Amino acid sequence: MARLSNQEIASIFSTIADMLEIKGENIHRVLAYRRAAETIAELPRDIHAVYEEGKLTELPHIGETLAAKIEELLTTGELGLFNRLADEIPPGVVEMLRIPGVGPKRAARFWKELGITSVEELKEAALAGKLRTLPGMGAKSEARILEGIEALARRSDRISIGVAYPTAMRLLDALLKVEGSLKGDVAGSLRRGCATIGDLDLLIASHEAEPIMEAFVELPDVARVLVQGPTKTSVELYNGLQVDLRVLPPERYGTSLVYFTGSKAHNVRLRELALKQGLSLSENSFIRLDDESEILCATEEEVYATLGLPWIAPELREDRGEIEAALAGELPDLITLEDIRGDLQLHTRWSDGQASVLEMAKAALARGYRYILVTDHSYGLGVVQGLAPEDIPRQREEIEAANAELGGAITILHGVEVEIKADGTLDYDDETLAQFDIVQASLHTSLRQPREQITQRLLNAIQNPHVDIIGHPRGRLIPDREPADLDMDTIFEAAAKHDVALEINANPHRLDLDDVHARRAVELGIKLTISTDAHRPEDFDLMHFGVATARRGWVSARDVINAWPLEQVMAWVEGRQR
C-alpha cells in the first residue's frame, strides 16, 4: 500500500467536510474536518512521522477522534466514514461546490430536487432553463451559475505568489547553507514577479552538484522525489508545490539563470538575437556557430552584453517590448521597494483591522516609512464593523495623539476607504468626506453587476471631487474571484481627466490593478499608489508583491504617489479640485 501524503489526507478531510455540509450536518462537525484539513495541508513535515511519534493530538485542531481517523488512513489507506459518505453522495455533487456561487445547500437541492449529479448535468439544466423552476432561483441566478461553470473551467492549479514566495525563500535559504553551494536564486515566474506560479525553479551555483541534490531531497518540506539526476532534481512538497532544482558550475551560472528565469517568449527572442550574431544560445553557454567554441557567462550581465543589450530586469522579461526598448536604450527606470516612502491603505481597530493606529504607525516606521494613510472602512459595508460618521472626530483625536507621541518621525494621515454602494452612491455625504486628509473609494459588493452598471458606479466615485484614490479597482481575488466586468478604457479616461489615482493593491490575493492595466494607466498619465491594505502590522511586509506587479507594468517611482515625499503628496491632494 502506498502511504498517503499530507495532501491526500487533507483533501480527504476537506471532501468529508463538503459531504457533511451537503448532508446538512451540524456545522461544528463540518468545521472540525475543515480545520483539520487546513492543519494537515499546511504541516511542514510528513504527517506519518508525527503519527509515529504519537504526537498527532498536539497538532492544532486535531483531537482524539480526528487523530484516530488519521491513523486509520495511514495504516489501512482507507477511511470507513469517507467510504460511507462517498457511497451516499455522487462525486459530481461534491464537485459542484467548486463552482463559484454554488454552496452546499444549493448543490444538495440540485441533486435531491432535480436529480443533477454532475457539473456537466448542471450546465445542461441551466441552459435548458430548468434551474429557475426551483423556488428562490430565477433566470439571473441561473445565468450566474453558468458564468461560474465557465470560470471553473478557466481556473488552473496555479498557486498565488503569496503562498509560493515564502516557501521558495525557505528552500533557497536551506540550499545556500549546504557546503559547496556558492550562490543561488529563485528563477522562473516567481523571479519575474508573476501573480500566480506554476512551479518553483531554483538555481544553485556549485562545482559539485551531487551533495546539493542530496541535501535538497532530504529537506523537511519535501514529500516525494519526482526526478533525481545529476543536473536537475524535481520534487513535490507537502504543500503541493512542485520544485525544480538545477545546480550549475559558477562559470555557467549566468546563461542558466537567464534561461530558467524565462519567460519562454523572452528566451526565444534572445536566441533569435544570438543567431543573428552567429551564436547559439542555450541554458549552458553561447556556442559560436563557425568554430563551435563556447562562450561562458558567469553573470546575467555578460549574457545580455554578449547580445549587445543592457541587463533587463526579470519583471520585464515577457516579450512585451523590452527587447526593443533595450536595443533603443529606452528601458524604464523601474520603481524599487526602497523608493516606497509610505503606505496609503491600511485598516485599524476602527474597522476590521487588528491593531491600533499607534501600533500600525510604529510598524510602518520600523519599515522606514515617512507617512501612512489610515483608511478604515466606512460604516455601511455590511460584512465588517465600519467607521460610523460620529466616530470620525474621535478617530482623528486618536491619530493626532499618535502623531504627537511619535514626535514627527512618521506622519499619520487621516483617510478612509469609503464604500461605493451598489446603487453607485458613496457611503458618506460630501460634508463627511471633506473631513479626511485623503479619500480612497472602493467597490466591495455587487461586483457581478452588468458592465454598464458597475462601470458607472466607479465613474460616479471618480467624478466625486472628494475622492482622491480608487482602491483595488477591478475587485479580483486570486484564485477565487474574477475581476468585475469594468470598461477599463472608460475608467482610465475618467481617472486621467479628474486626476484620480488608481491603486495597485499589494496583497498577493489581489494585485489589482494588475501589471497590464498598471502599464496602460501610466501610459495615459494616470497616477498610481501601491498599498498593502494592511489589516495587521505584519501585512506591511506584503509591499514587495505590489512593487513587483508595478515593475511588471513598467512603472517608475515618479508614477507612484507613495514614492513621493509627503510635501509632494499633500501638494497633489490640495491641487485637486475639492
> Residue numbers of the site for ligand DGT (CB under 6 A)?
188-189, 194, 197-199, 201, 259-260, 262-264, 267-268
Q: What is the DSSP string of 348-381?
A: -TTTT-SS-HHHHHHHHHHTT-SEEEEEEEBTT-
Smallest separation (angstroms) from Zn ion to the CB of 120 = 36
- Ranked by CB distance to Zn ion, the top (closest) residue is 442
Residue with Cβ nearer Ca ion (158 or 536): 158
Q: Which does 478 bind (CB under 5 to 8 A by kind): Zn ion, Ca ion, ligand DGT, none?
A: none
Nearer to ligand DGT (CB atom), residue 263 or residue 284: 263
> 268 or 524: whose CB is closer to ligand DGT?
268
252, 257, 260, 309, 574 from 280: Cα distances, Å: 15, 16, 16, 16, 57
Round the CA-based radius of gyration of the chain to a whole number and report it. Answer: 27
285 or 529, CB closer to Zn ion? 529
Only segment of 58-66, 350-358, 435-443, 543-551 that touches Zn ion (CB under 5 A): 435-443
Q: How many helices (H) and strands (E) does the chain have?
A: 24, 17
Q: SS3 for 388-424, per residue? A: CHHHHHHHHHHHHHHHHHHCCCCEEEEEEEEEECCCC
* Other CB atoms within 10 Å distance of the CB of residue 94: 20
Site membership for Zn ion, residue 411 (CB under 5 A): no
Residue 442 touches which member of Zn ion, Ca ion, ligand DGT, none, C-beta under 5-8 Å by kind: Zn ion
**Nearer residue to Zn ion within complex by CB, 285 or 442:** 442
Interaction partner, residue 268 (ligand DGT, Zn ion, Ca ion, none; CB < 5-8 Å by kind)? ligand DGT
* Residue 286 beta carbon to ligand DGT: minimum distance, rounded to whole angstroms: 15
Q: Which of 442, 529, 532, 562 binds Zn ion (CB under 5 A)?
A: 442
- Interacting residues with Zn ion between 30 and 89 (CB under 5 A): none
Nearer to Ca ion, 188 or 314 (CB): 188
Establish how many alpha carbons lie within 13 A of residue 496's alpha carbon, considering only the half-sphere containing its beta carbon: 13
Which residue carries 446538512 as its cell? Answer: 24
- When CB distances are held under 5 to 8 angstroms depending on the partner's kind, the choice from Zn ion, ligand DGT, Ca ion, none that residue 236 binds is none
Residue among 221 and 376 whose Cβ is closer to Zn ion: 376
- Rounded to a whole number of angstroms, the minimum distance from the CB of residue 316 to Ca ion is 17
Residues in the chain: 578
Distances (CA, A) of 537 to 337, 373, 506, 566: 17, 14, 14, 21
Is residue 392 within 8 A of residue 379, CB to CB? The reply is no
Smallest gap from Cβ 256 to ligand DGT, in A, equals 10
As measured in angstroms, the least distance from the Cβ of 336 to ligand DGT is 22
Which DSSP letter does residue 473 get? T
- Residue that the C-alpha cell 489507506 belongs to: 77
**Of 365 and 477, CB closest to Zn ion:** 477
Q: Pick from Zn ion, Ca ion, ligand DGT, none: which does 167 bind, CB < 5 to 8 A by kind?
A: none
Stretch in the footprint of Zn ion (CB under 5 A) among 51-59, 246-254, 442-450, 518-526? 442-450
Q: Which DSSP string do the residues of 173-188 spell out, in sequence order?
A: HHHHTSTT--EEEE-H
Which option in Ca ion, Zn ion, ligand DGT, none does residue 264 bind, with CB closer than 5 to 8 A by kind? Answer: ligand DGT
Nearer of residues 181 and 345 to Zn ion, judged by Cβ: 345
Q: Which amino acid, residue 173? A: D
Taking CA atoms, 130 is separated from 47, 133, 137, 146, 560, in Å, by 46, 6, 10, 12, 51
**C-alpha to C-alpha distance for 1 and 76, rounded to whole angstroms:** 8
What would the x/- binding string for Zn ion be over residues 475 to 514, using CB under 5 A? Answer: ----------------------------------------
Please report how close the Cβ of residue 304 comes to ligand DGT at its closest, in angstroms.
16
Specify the residue, 107 or 168, whose C-beta has the smaller distance to Ca ion: 168
Measured at the CA of 452, the angle between CA 451 and CA 454, to 5 degrees, comes to 65
Q: Which residue is nearest to ligand DGT (CB)?
A: 262
Taking the alpha carbons at both ends of the chain, their separation in whole angstroms is 71
Using CB under 5 A, list all residues that contact Zn ion.
442
